[in-house]
Amino acid sequence: MKCPKCGVEIARFDLSPNCKKCGVHIMYYTQDEDLRRDAKKTELEFTTARIFVAKLKAAFIQGKAVILRFVFLLLGICSLLLPVFNVKLSFPWWEYEISVGALGIYNMFTDSIWTMLGAFSDIGVGKLLFIITLVTLLLLVVTALCLVGCFGAWILSFINIRKTSKIAVGFAVPAILSGIGSTVLSFIAVNLSGAIEFVSVKPYFGGVLTVLIMAAFIAANAAIINNPPEIPVKEADRKRLEIKEKLKKGEITLDELPLPIVEEEEKPEAPKEKKRGKKK
């Protein structure tokens, strides 16, 4: 270690705060310079933070289409809770009911769905109704996975709102196709239930509602793709970003920069109107 002023070599175990040759305080001699350097670093880092916050605002709360996109996504997730149709088995000694919706997906992993298969094992039309029920539940699983993909694209929209909107549309299209498929199967199930005496199928509108909401979700994303919200960045911050890139490439050093690095242009304040008092 050397003295910052005179350059004399300081012994490793010399704990004196002052240089023995020139007497300068080693710790505080470069304090002003260090503070100036820290102030420059802070100015550049705050620019990065301000731009990141601006990206978050543009991605999540800036503009009607951006807000509507989140509302439709939330409604699409909630629409899965509504069943597509309801199957009820009514025997003199036993009754069983299954809701074909997001809440009924749990029955695929329990013995309930296989109980229904056992009840239909000796009836040809009943087996077909069971297959329709199982396929509808699988389509609901596909819809749920697509909505998870849409939600992930929405979370990452601050990175690039236009690209993530295209990804969200790519997930929403198969969700709509799955919703249409489950709705068609619900009508087939209602018609088949008329041929079985102890089976009744009640249609609901969960699939239709999911299709309509996801279509609106696609429309909101299309509006964002065609006219993405602009990220409000000040001209001074743009200059700071350019300087930061030059620092990373080693084209300039921190000591060469002035303080402040970029001076903000102050907007002139509008003159305040004087209140006129009543004349006595």
Residue 280: pLDDT band with limits 50, 70, 90:
very low
pLDDT for residue 117 is more than 60: no
Average of pLDDT values for 105-118? 60
The residue-averaged pLDDT of 169-192 equals 90
Q: pLDDT at residue 118 above 60?
A: no
Calculate the average pLDDT of the chain. 80
Question: Any idea what the Cα angle at residue 25 is, between residues 30 and 253, rounded to 5°?
Answer: 15
The residue among 274 and 58 whose pLDDT is bigger is 58
pLDDT at position 266, please?
Answer: 61
Please give the pLDDT value at position 110.
62
Range with top average pLDDT, 185-189, 257-261, 265-269: 185-189
Q: pLDDT for 15-33, tens place per residue?
A: 677 777 777 766 666 677 7
Q: How confident is the model at residue 219 (pLDDT cuts 50, 70, 90)?
A: very high
Q: Predicted confidence band at 250 (pLDDT cuts at 50, 70, 90)?
A: confident
**Mean pLDDT confidence for 217-245:** 87
pTM assigned to the model: 0.75
| pLDDT for the residue 270 | 53
Alpha carbon distance 67, 91 (integer Å): 50
Task: Give the per-residue pLDDT at 272.
Answer: 59
Q: What is the pLDDT of residue 38?
A: 83
Per-residue confidence band for 170, with pLDDT thresholds at 50, 70 and 90:
very high
pLDDT higher than 60, residue 59: yes
**pLDDT score of 48 more than 80:** yes
pLDDT of 217 higher than 90: yes
Using the predicted structure, report yes or no on whether residue 125 has a pLDDT greater than 70. Answer: no
Q: Evaluate if residue 275 carries a pLDDT over 80.
A: no
In whole angstroms, give the CA distance from residue 280 to residue 278. 6
Percent of the chain at pLDDT exceeding 70: 78
Q: What is the pLDDT of residue 133?
A: 80
